[in-house]
Amino acid sequence: MKAENSACEKQQEIKSTFEPDFLKSEINRLKKEKSAVILAHYYQLGEIQDLADYIGDSLALAQIAAKLDNPIIVLCGVHFMGETAKILCPDKKVLCPDPEAGCSLADSCPAEDFKKFIEEHPGHTVISYVNTSAGVKALTDVLVTSSNAQKIVETFPKDEKIIFGPDHNLGTYINNITGRQMVLWHGACHVHEQFSLDKILELKKEYPDAKLLVHPECKQHLHILADKVGSTAALLKYAQENSANEFIVATESGILHEMKKKCPDKTFIPAPPEDATCACNNCSYMKLNTLEKLYRCLKDEAPEIQVDPAIAERAKRPIERMLALS
């Protein structure tokens, strides 16, 4: 198994009606003309990351959105990231290239069901992962991302009764490293749950000096095997600072783009999923955004993210609390 670029990126380029160079120069022109700013998550196509004004993990994107002055924010990521930006910046136009870019983890926790779960556990503080709908955020005391979950959970007394949702794997990881017994919602991400332990063990034999980088949304057996467990930004930082030359990367393959840019002399090997038709693992939602959709979205100023103002008001508090504690 060798490190390859995502075949899916090439497919996206072929499908476009316009030449990539035309799209890139139009996006830059429209961005200037409209004083718009482009924020992109590390899982976006490389060409979108290269055009963005800011790239980052979900925490960084929320922190940046909260500080921006631009009247238009284009959030190249998934829907909950756009919602978070809109809740923080209600007076701005927040655009997303493809409104269908959802998140299987957020979908695994419908707000009505989460409300019942909270009612079944009276007296518990509710901590939710940011990969949730605005409706779930509105039911939450404090939000976390994979960057700050441990830090925020540890601000509560050891005997605090806590509900943690929706990611069961991240919740298990935080319980293990903090010695807590938070009550967990059983949600998961379809990408991170898929990494194959057997294939990763094979890769470790093939690359005995490689460090294994694992996102906490992966299953517990990978947390145990990992050299580093962390958010996308934390994994990138580890790869930059560690003296190893080879890294097996168990998270969405988009992060390899920035890893290779930051560390051109190092080798990054995408961890394969169980059911693989290629040697990488893509989030089908993240990869819905293309250069052409980004161009159209800037040109038409649509699709725009909207959040019910009553829900947004309740959802803003736990987001701001997270930003204050980060």
Site residues for ligand 13P per CB under 6 A: 57-58, 131, 145-147, 189, 217, 231-232
Q: Report the residue number, 39 or 200, with the smaller CB distance to ligand 13P.
A: 39
Query: 251 to each of 159, 293, 294, 322, how far by Cα in Å?
Result: 32, 25, 24, 24
Supply the minimum distance, in Å, between the C-beta of residue 40 and ligand SF4.
Answer: 13
**Which one of the spans 44-52, 132-140, 281-289, 296-304 is the region binding ligand SF4 (CB under 6 A)?**
281-289
| Residue type (1 letter), 312 | A
Partner from ligand 13P, ligand SF4, none binding residue 285, C-beta < 5-8 Å depending on class: ligand SF4
Contact flag: residue 191 with ligand SF4 (CB under 6 A): yes
Name the pairing type of β-strands 246-250 and 211-214.
parallel
> Could you give the count of Cα atoms lying within 13 Å of 83 in the half-sphere of its Cβ?
26
Nearer of residues 192 and 293 to ligand SF4, judged by Cβ: 192
Q: In what order do the strands lie in the sheet with 93-95?
A: 54-56, 36-41, 72-76, 93-95
Contacts with ligand SF4 by CB under 6 A: the residue count is 14
Return the range that interacts with ligand SF4 (CB under 6 A); candidates 6-14, 147-155, 187-195, 313-321.
Answer: 187-195
Token reading at 7: 């075949």
Candidate list 104, 140, 145, 146; residue touching ligand SF4; CB under 6 A = 104
104 binds, among ligand SF4, ligand 13P, none (CB under 5 to 8 A by kind): ligand SF4
Q: Does 249 bind ligand SF4 (CB under 6 A)?
A: no
Nearer to ligand 13P, 6 or 232 (CB): 232
Q: 98: phi > 0 → left, psi -120 to 50 → alpha, else beta; which? A: beta
Q: Using DSSP, state whether 1 is helix, strand or coil.
A: coil
SS3 content of the chain, % helix, strand, coil (to 5): 45, 15, 40
Query: How is residue 187 written in tokens?
Result: 């949600």
Q: Which residue, 65 or 105, has its beta carbon nearer to ligand SF4?
A: 105
Q: List contacts with ligand SF4 (CB under 6 A).
A: 78, 103-105, 131, 189-192, 217, 252, 283, 285-286
